[in-house]
Structure 1
Amino acid sequence: MVVRRTLGYLARIVAIRSDKPELLKAQLTALSRMIPLLYFILVANAWVLSITFVGLAPDWLALYVALALSVVCGLRLALWWPKKGAILSNRKCVRELMHTNVFAALLGIGFSLWALSLFPYGGTYEKAHVGLFLTITTLGSMLCLIHLRSAALLVAVTVAVPFVLYFVSTGVPAFVGMAINVTLVTIAAVIVILFQYRDFTRMVQARTRTETLSNENLRLANVDSLTGLPNRRAFFTYLDAAFCTAQSRGARLALGIIDLNGFKAVNDLYGHAVGDKLLVQVASRLSGIHASNGASFLSRLGGDEFAYAVADAPDNEALVVRAEEIVSLLRKPFVLAEAIVQISGSIGITVYPEMASSAEQLFERTDYALYHGKHERRGRAVLFSSDHEAQINSEARIEQALKLADFAQELTVAFQPIFDIRSQATIGFEALARWSSPSLGRISPAQFVPIAERTGIISALTRPLLEKALLEAGKWPDDVRLSFNLSAHDLGSPDNLAAIVGIIEGSGFDPGRLDLEITETAFTHDFEQVHQSVDRLRRLGCGISLDDFGTGYSSLSRLHALPLTRIKIDRSFVTGLHKNPASLKIVKSLLVLSRDMGLDCVVEGVETREEMAALRELGAVMAQGYFYSPPIAQNDVLSFLHDQTMPLLQAG
């Protein structure tokens, strides 16, 4: 039993553990630095011993055997050298370490037999040299092989054991004493090797655990925890690398950004947990088409935005076709446990080198193409073009002019009438901003207002415009109301709201005649702050209108959340109303909804007699648009009210 256990222990000591790949690689790396030193020690000491016995022992033994052993060592070193620093598979590591064990045993036997064969031919000093050679060979080889315990122990067995037994057998006290000393030193060396190997193994295991943890942390830092896709950080790391590659190879690189339309409505209606499930399904669909449409990287940038890159991009037409395939895929209903929901997606695309000169510009222009697409071609793919580049340059000039503008001097107000369809009388005016820049001339509100909102300058425009509008409205008859637009920035900041309240209270204008219009984009900001701002304005006596009703993401879910007094039906539903059954049904439903909720309703964008006739038939009460009157300069409002005859309405 004891023998069996001992043999089992020895077998475990000399075994190569193939189940620990990191340890195998660490052993191989350590050996690659020590093997050349090992063979230098063997060959150098062998030739010193060989020269000592020249003339005493036969040449074939003293010289030719030494030469043969040196050649074997040289060949082994030549075979080992190319693998130094190489990254080998687990199987190859095991094979190399087993070969090292075999050669350690064979060379140990070979050098031991050779040295002991020389022993009888020498005198006292030469025989002592044999003992010194074997001692140095044993200890030097064991130290060089210390990271491969099995090989070191095989050297101890094949060199030290024959040496000790042979020297004891001589019966010479000095040689017996030398054998005892070598035995003790070898035992100490074996103990040191066993402990050092244990510590080496633990160190490798600890380093492996640390590297594994570090790699896991790195993976988590670059992966979106919800969808499992690479996250924003990973995307920009990839984009920088892909751009450098494309630049060096002169290749095309395309970038696409996907934004989901209608996702916020799902969040508002069903909650964020359902929204998260939807994002997971979106990611799954995108991953599926990503694998087949040539995209080389797909990630989630955050929220409901995703991005993909296409290395070695095909022509622009093919890129747009692939993007439209993604858009079509996103239009298909998503089946969730809570509901079946339907959304869509808009995609912006830019290609290097045609439309971008850096990775940053590639992303910025793709984001611009997406922004443009969401406003002009919602639910479609838009490729950044030279027209967009010209528009960016134009917007940059406008933005710069806005930052330098004296709004009190440069802004004026125009007023578009709001009329009662039944009485054909003007019941109010909507204030519209007009800007004449000293450097750029007259700029359309459709151009400068979105830029002012995007850059956060809009509140600086709101205050002088509100002051001018209230000053002018104070001259009107008491039954004529003023409508004024507020942005999300105006409502999203307590300081901005305080300034607006101060202007209203200081104007002397009756807040009960003032309708403040907000759009649903305000809901995407801090809704609680927006709600508090609207409550404060409502307590002041102002009316609150929801502008562009029906085009936002959350109209119905937010109607009850705000103290509204009026809704305005967006002009997109009015154009061609009389010949578009879908628009007719929508407007009819919105009119009924407003009546049921006790809200006034203004229909925007009425431009033709036919549209007006259709609205009258649907029971609409209030409207505005070019059919009745275009915007009027502030100095002409009083004369308009005095002279209005409404010839078009009378003819209708």
Structure 2
Amino acid sequence: MNGRFVRRPQVEPLSPSPFMRLINLFRVQSDNPALVRAQFEAFTKQAPILYFILTTNALTVSYTYYGEAPIWLAVYIPVTFGILCAVRLRVWWQRRHAQYDDAQILKQLRLTHKLAVGLAIGFTAWSLALYPYGDPYAQGLIAFFMALTVIGCIFCLMHVRSAALLVTLIVNTPFIIFFMFEGHAALRAVAVNLALVSIAMIFILMVYYRDFANLVQSRKDLTVKQEETERLSDDNFRIANLDSLTDLPNRRRFFAALNLTFEICHKSGDRFAIGIVDLDGFKPVNDTYGHATGDRVLIEAGRRLQSLCGSNIILSRLGGDEFGLVVTGNPSDSDLMALGQKLGEIVRLPYDIGASHAQISACIGFATFPDSANTPDGLFERADYALYYAKRHLRGQTVLFSQAHEKLIHEHSVVEQALQVADLDCELSVVYQPIVDARTGRIAAFEALARWQSPFLGAIGPDRFIPIAERAGLIRPMTKVLIQKALKAAASWPDHVRISINLSAQDISVAEGVVQIIACVNQSGVDPKRIDFEITETSITSDFAQARRAIDALKALGCGISLDDFGTGYSSLSHVHRLPLDKIKVDKSFISDIDINPASFKIVRSLIVLCQDMGLTCVMEGVETEAQYEILSELGGDYIQGWYFSKPMSGDLVLRYMEQDQPARRQKA
């Protein structure tokens, strides 16, 4: 064929010929296991009745012909038939509860098929042999015997169509022929009647078997649909209760387990705990290396956490980078702290992300029943607060909710309620701390710092009310008031003095917040080029893409962008590289001991060099002593801020302070 392959046309399978369809009527079907099993189960119940009918009828005929026919014909043969039927009846009775596979069932049906043919031939031959020895009444009994036996066999074998058809033909055909040629008109009439009845019985048999097969197929289809429904139900349950990424129980399943555990322990009085695990530093990994890498880190973190959870701990993924724990078995405080330590240690192990490794940590908050709360929701809220406390004060550690935290919650609740009803325009104020040029010693800018004087609670520090406002969703209206007040003050300053304003994560996490800021700037009359907005790493990592859009919008307006508290986050360098920043503010934790700690000195020096290489302005905050100032000046930092120059001052003192601005002033004011 010249090396070429010839594609043969596919031939459709031929349907059986009429002759083969006829032959198949007299065979046990083997291509439908469900139908074969249904035939076997139905016949198992009918077989004892079949053998009872054969035995009873044979003994009746034997009794009638006893003394008329030879003993071997009148007694021995029917007794033999009776014994055979009794044996088969006993076999079927013993097997009525037995379990068989498909191959064994098919084998049993084929054996039954052969026995039915053999018994039909045997009983027919025996009956015809007895017929000549009887008087007309006895001969009439033979005809009655055969007709009654055939009808009984057909009804008992209706589920095994092939056997029923063969029995009907094997028994009735010889008798119809025999009676037709007996020469008596009555017998010919019997033959015709028997033939017509046989045809009717075969028709009934065929219809019944067709309906039986259809019923079996319907039941099979129903079973398949039921299995499909169960599979879909299982899939729906999995989707509804399992996290698709980590394959751990999801948030819904976590709260179901929490509620169930609460009910059980509320009745028994047992102690249990819930915990919330937050992966610190995961969002920077996700933003830097992509969601696919982030997903692998989450899967691995979930696997590691699960490896430490025994049978008394249910681990769930609550969403994002948070996991939930339900710990039963009367855990003590020390047990929970030890568990938290193990979980933190295993999370901190490096994660393989291809060519390099990522490292994250975990904050964990625990709350116990009945110590922390007496409702499931209250328990979760307190575990969440313990986590919040760990993230703010004890990064990478475990916090167990205590009465001290309950007191803080109460205090925060009081502050939040006061904020809810506060007249922000009247109660909020702004103080200003100078930012000094490290080379000239002159004032370059002021940072605007929020203050709140509540008529009910008195003076509340920003370290208290700002986090509460953020958690309560009140920070955006507060930011609007503070920006307006700060820009109103800056409008009266010299044009070379800049204003630096802090923004919350919520201010830049949605487009509406950015629009609000831009509107405040446009309405103030202050040149946007004199304004710097300070953002923290936490405000960026919550939604990097949105944060980037917000920064781009503010930059397009002409404002400067400073990254505050630099060095305390998890991926500062990646943010510096990916964001259009103007300034970096080195966190005061590195400045406080720069004159006595060589490590702090090296870190600050490296950060200053980094800023110089990347063309960024470096602001060092938290300067309080002459020694710190001298070191920073020698290192080449651009701007310095701290109490060494001045504490934050009210707006009316800013102008007076600027009038005294002289390069020689380097002592604490």
Superposition TM-score, scaled by structure 1 size = 0.74
Task: Find the counterpart in structure 2 of residue 285 from structure 1.
Answer: 304
RMSD of the alignment, in Å? 5.4
- The answer to whether structure 1 residue 298 and structure 2 residue 342 are counterparts is no
Whether the 8 Å CA contact 1:518–1:544 is kept in 2: the answer is: yes
Amino acid in structure 1 at the alignment position of 2:477? A
Q: Distance in 2 between matches of 1:642 and 1:129?
A: 135
- Give 1:215's match in structure 2, choosing from 227, 234, 237: 234
CA contact (8 A) 2:275 2:383 kept: yes
Gaps of 5+ in 2: 1-19, 65-88, 125-130, 132-136, 180-189
Q: Aligned in 2, Cα 1:448/1:164: closer, same or farther, shift over 3 Å?
A: farther
Pick from 461, 466, 487: which aligns with 1:470? Answer: 487
Using the alignment, how far apart are the partners of 1:142 and 1:451 within structure 2? 82
Structure-2 separation of matches of 1:247 and 1:7? 73
Structure 2 CA distance, aligned partners of 1:490 and 1:445?
Answer: 16
1:412 to 429, 438, 443: 429
The structure with the larger Rg is: 2
* 637, 642, 645: which one aligns with 1:620: 637
Task: Answer yes or no: is 1:538 the counterpart of 2:555.
Answer: yes
In 2, are the aligned partners of 1:349 and 1:382 still within 8 Å (CA)?
A: yes
Task: Report deviation, 1:411.
Answer: 0.8
- Using the TM superposition, give the Cα deviation of residue 204 of structure 1 relative to its aligned residue in structure 2, in angstroms: 2.5
Deviations 1:101-123 (A, max 9, x none): 99x99xx9xxx9xxx9xxx9999
Structure-2 residue corresponding to 1:568: 585
Q: Secondary structure at the match of 1:434?
A: strand
Contact 2:582–2:617, Cα closer than 8 Å, also in 1:
yes
Distance 2:576 2:518 in 1: 23
Which of 337, 350, 353 is the matching residue for 1:333? 350
Whole-Å separation in 1 of the counterparts to 2:167 and 2:647: 108
Q: Report the Cα offset of residue 321 of structure 1.
A: 0.8
Give the drift of 1:462: 1.4
Q: In 2 relative to 1, CA 547–366 (structure 1 residues): closer, same or farther, beyond 3 Å?
A: same
* Deviation of 1:461 (Å): 0.8
CA 179–92 in structure 1, closer or farther in 2 if over 3 Å, else same:
closer
Conserved? CA contact 1:168–1:179, under 8 Å? no
Alignment partner of 2:212 out of 193, 197, 215: 193
Matching residue of 2:478? 461
Amino acid at match of 2:343: I
Instruction: Report the CA distance between 1:556 and its aligned residue.
Output: 1.9
CA distance in 2, matches of 1:442, 1:137: 103
- CA deviations 1:207-248 (Å, max 9, x no partner) are 434543453454355444433334444444444444444445
Cα offset, 1:506, TM superposition: 3.2
Summarize the Cα distance change of 1:294–1:647 in structure 2 as closer, same or farther, 3 Å threshold.
farther
Q: Does 1:362 align with 2:379?
A: yes
Q: 1:76 to 1:130 in 2, by over 3 A?
A: farther
Paired with 2:490 and 2:499, the residues of 1 have a C-alpha distance of 7
In structure 1, the partner of 2:184 is none
Q: Tell me the residue number matched to 2:538.
A: 521
Question: Which string of whole-angstrom CA distances, capped at 9 and with x for unpartnered residues, describes residues 407-458 of structure 1?
Answer: 1111111222333455555443211111123343332211221222233321
* Per-residue deviation, 1:640: 4.2
Q: Does 1:432 align with 2:449?
A: yes
Amino acid at match of 1:461: M
Contact 2:563 2:581 in 1 (8 A): yes
Higher alpha-carbon deviation: 320-329 or 212-221: 212-221
Residue 274 (structure 1) aligned with residue 296 (structure 2): no
Question: Partner amino acid for 1:534?
Answer: I
Distance 1:218 1:608, change over 3 A: same
Q: Aligned pair in 2 of structure 1 residues 177, 400: CA closer, same or farther (>3 Å)?
A: same
Q: 1:167, CA displacement in angstroms?
A: 9.5
Residues 257 and 326, structure 2, Cα contact 8 Å, conserved in 1: no
How far apart in 2 are the matches of 1:158 and 1:369?
A: 83
Equivalent-residue separation in structure 1 for 2:389 and 2:494 (angstroms): 42
Say how many residue pairs are matched.
Answer: 615
Structure-1 separation of matches of 2:370 and 2:293: 40
User: Is this contact kept in 1: 2:365–2:390, CA < 8 A?
Assistant: yes
Within a 5 Å distance, the mapping from 1:30-179 to structure 2 comes to: 139=155
State the identity %. 39
Shift, 1:371, TM fit: 2.2
Return the offset for 1:594. Answer: 1.7
Find the residue that maps to 1:436 and give its secondary structure.
Answer: strand
Q: Cα deviations across residues 154-180 of structure 1 (Å, max 9, x unaligned)?
A: 996999899979998997667786666
**1:566 Cα deviation (Å)?**
1.6
Match of 2:79 in 1: none
Contact residue 595 and residue 631 of structure 2 kept, 8 A: yes
TM-score by length of 2: 0.72
CA contact (8 A) 2:440 2:663 kept: no
**Residues 173-182 or 348-357, more deviating:** 173-182
Q: 1:270 to 1:162 in 2, by over 3 A?
A: same
CA distance in 1, matches of 2:147, 2:634: 120
Matched, 1:263 2:282: yes
The whole-number CA distance in structure 2 between the counterparts of 1:313 and 1:167 is 86
Partner SS, residue 581 of structure 2: coil
| 1:249, distance to aligned residue in structure 2 (A) | 4.4
Give CA deviations for 1:269-289 in whole Å, capped at 9, x if unaligned: 333333233233323323333
Q: Which residue of 246, 250, 261 maps to 1:227?
A: 246
CA–CA separation in structure 2 for the residues paired with 1:283 and 1:493: 30
The DSSP-based 3-state class of the residue aligned with 2:354 is: coil
Deviation at 1:260, TM superposition (A): 1.7
Q: 2:572 aligns with which of 550, 555, 569?
A: 555
| Contact 1:285–1:329 (CA under 8 A) maintained in structure 2 | yes
Q: Is the 8 A contact 2:25 2:162 kept in 1?
A: no
Structure 1: runs of 5+ lacking an equivalent: 18-22, 58-69, 81-90, 144-151
Q: Give distance in 2, aligned partners of 1:444 and 1:142.
A: 93
Q: Which residue of 1 aligns with 2:518?
A: 501
Q: 2:74 maps to what in 1?
A: none
CA offsets, 1:600-648, max 9 Å, x none? 2222223455544543453434332334433223333344445689999
2:8 is aligned to none
Contact 2:40 2:109 in 1 (8 A): no
| Aligned match of 1:637 | 654
Would you say the 8 A contact 1:348–1:367 is kept in 2? yes
Q: 1:591 aligns with which of 591, 596, 608?
A: 608
The aligned counterpart of 1:382 is 399
* Distance (Å, rounded) in 1 between the aligned partners of 2:420 and 2:153: 84
1:385 and 1:164 map into 2 onto residues whose CA distance is 95
- Local SS of the residue matching 2:595: helix
C-alpha spacing 1:206/1:493, structure 2 compared with 1 (3 Å): closer
Is the 8 Å Cα contact of residues 160 and 186 (structure 1) preserved in structure 2? no
CA distance in 2 between counterparts of 1:154 and 1:609 reads: 111
Equivalences for residues 306-345 of structure 1 within 5 A:
306-345=323-362
Letter in 2 for 1:316: D
Structure 1 residues 92 and 233: alpha-carbon distance in aligned structure 2, compared to 1, 3 A threshold: farther
- Cα distance in 2 for partners of 1:640, 1:613 equals 22
Secondary structure of 2:308's counterpart equals helix
Deviation, 1:545, is: 1.5
What CA distance in whole angstroms lies between the structure 2 residues aligned with 1:130 and 1:403?
101
Matching residue's letter, 1:254? A
1:578 partner SS: coil
